Amino acid sequence: RLMKPRIIVTRRWPDAVEHILAERFDTTFNRGDAPLKPIELKAAFQAFDAILPTVSDSLPASLFPESDSRTRIIANYGVGFSHIDIDAARAQGIVVTNTPGVLTDCTADIALSLLLAVARRAGEGERQLRAGEWAGWCPTHMIGAKVTGKTIGIIGMGRIGKATAKRAHFGFDMDVVFYNRSKVDDEETRAMGARQLPTIEDVLAEADFVSLHCPGGAANRHLINAERLAAMKPGAFLINTARGDVVDQAALVAALESGKLAGAGLDVFDGEPVVPEGLTRLENVVLLPHLGSATEETRVAMGMKAVDNLTAFFDGKEVPDRVV
Ligand code: 8YV
C-alpha cells in the first residue's frame, strides 16, 4: 500500500496496543475522557477507513452513511457487538470484527466473583465494616447462602458460559443445567458435569443461581422479564455479565424488593453507565462497572485481536474474527 489506512480509536486503549496501531496505521486517538458524540461517530464514516469502537460507542443505523462510506471496516474492541447495527453495516458493505476467545476466562472469573460476593454478602459486609458499624463476630451475623453443591443455571452456553460452568462444577461442586439455542455436543456437556434442558423455564425451575451468557440486542431484549423472574426458585440469585438489555431492570428491582430473589450480581446495565437508583439503594445486590474483561492481559489481547483483524483486512487477507 502507498498510504497507511486512516483509522480512529474511540477510547484510550492499553499503551502496548496503541503503539502498534500508531506504527501500522495513520491513527487518530480520542484523548478525551468521554466517548465520542454520535455526531462525531457519524462524521468518522466519511473521514476514516476504519473505526475501532467499544461497547460505549453505540452505532445505530442512523449514524451509518446512506452511501459512499469511507469506512470499510469496524473493528470492535470486545466480543459483544450488539451496540453496532450489523444490518446497516452489511448494507454498506462494511466489514465488522470482534475479539472472541481472549476475554473468556476473565469474564467467567467475574461471573464467579459476583456469584460468590452476592451469595456470601461480601459487598454488604464490606460496607458495614468500612462504615464502622461492625458490632463483632456473632453466630448469626450476616448469614449468607452456601454456594458449594448448589445448582447453577447457565443461559447461553458459548465460550464464556462453558468457562463459567467449569469453574462452578469443578471449583464449587455445583450441578450445572443450561439452556442454549442449539444443541451442545453431548460429550462436552458431560465433561462439564452439565445437563442441557429444552427451555429457559426448565433451567429457571432448577437453578439456585442463574447466570446469563447470551448476546444482547433485539433478539434477547428482556429475555429475563417479570414472568421469567417469577419462574425462578424463591430465594434464587441472578448473575449478569452479558448485556444489560437481556434483563428487564425494573422487573428485577421488583423481584429483589419483594424478596422473590435473594440477590443479584450485575456487571452490565441497560443504558450504561447510568445505573437506576432502584438498584443502587438495595443491599442484596453486587454492582460492578462492566469489569468482565478488565485485566491487563485480556485488554492487551483484545487490542491485539483488533490489530490482527485490521492488518489482515488492509492486506487483503482473510479477516480472522469477521462477524459481518
Ligand atoms: C468489553 C465486553 O469491556 O467484550 C465484551 O463484549 O463487554 C467487554 O469485554 C467491552 O465490550 C469493551 O468494548
Q: Supply the pLDDT for residue 2.
A: 73
Task: Report whether 160 contacts 213 (CB < 8 A).
Answer: yes
For residue 220, what is the domain's CATH number?
3.40.50.720
Ligand 1 contacts CB of residue 100 (under 6 A): no
159 is catalytic: no
Identify whether 235 is part of a domain. Answer: yes
**Crossing angle for the helix pair 104-119 and 159-166, to the nearest 10 degrees:** 50
List, in sequence order, the alpha helices (H) in the chain: 15-24, 38-47, 86-91, 104-119, 122-130, 159-166, 172, 186-191, 200-206, 226-230, 249-257, 277-280, 296-314
Identify whether 300 is part of a domain. Answer: yes
Same domain, 264 and 146: yes
Q: How far apart are CA 201 and CA 219, in angstroms?
A: 17
Global pTM value = 0.97
Same domain, 282 and 186: yes
Identify whether 321 is part of a domain. Answer: no
Same domain, 62 and 172: no
Question: Burial of 46 by CB count in 10 Å (0-12 exposed, 13-18 middle, 19+ buried)?
Answer: exposed
**Residue nearest atom 6 in ligand 1 by C-alpha distance:** 80
Looking at residue 87, its amino acid is D
Same domain, 250 and 283: yes
Distance 79 CA to ligand 1 centre (A): 6
Find the radius of gyration of the CA atoms of the chain: 21
Residues 6+ positions from 39 with CB-CB distance below 8 Å: none
Number of domains in the chain: 2
127 is catalytic: no
| Helix (H/G/I), strand (E/B), else coil: 132 | coil
Backbone phi and psi for residue 205, each to the nearest 5 degrees, phi listed first: -70, -25
Identify whether 209 is part of a domain. Answer: yes
Identify whether 323 is part of a domain. Answer: no
Range of the domain at 44: 6-102+296-314
272 is catalytic: yes
| pLDDT, one tens digit for every residue, the chain (324 residues) | 679 999 999 999 999 999 999 999 999 999 998 999 999 999 999 999 999 999 999 999 999 999 999 999 999 999 999 999 999 999 999 999 999 999 999 999 999 999 999 999 999 999 999 999 999 999 999 999 999 999 999 999 999 999 999 999 999 999 999 999 999 999 999 999 999 999 999 999 999 999 999 999 999 999 999 999 999 999 999 999 999 999 999 999 999 999 999 999 999 999 999 999 999 999 999 999 999 999 999 999 999 999 999 999 999 999 999 999
Residue found by looking up cell 452513511 in the block: 65
Identify whether 319 is part of a domain. Answer: no
Identify whether 320 is part of a domain. Answer: no
Same domain, 147 and 269: yes
Same domain, 118 and 247: yes
Atom of ligand 1 nearest to the CA of 99: 4
How high is the ipTM of this complex?
0.95
**Long-range CB contact pairs, 31-35, < 8 A, 24+:** 35/10, 35/11
Among residues 216, 276, 277, 224, the alpha carbon closest in space to that of 255 is found at: 224
Same domain, 151 and 258: yes
Same domain, 188 and 239: yes
Same domain, 278 and 172: yes
**Residue nearest atom 9 in ligand 1 by C-alpha distance:** 293
Same domain, 28 and 88: yes
Task: Report whether 285 contacts 257 (CB < 8 A).
Answer: no
Identify whether 65 is part of a domain. Answer: yes
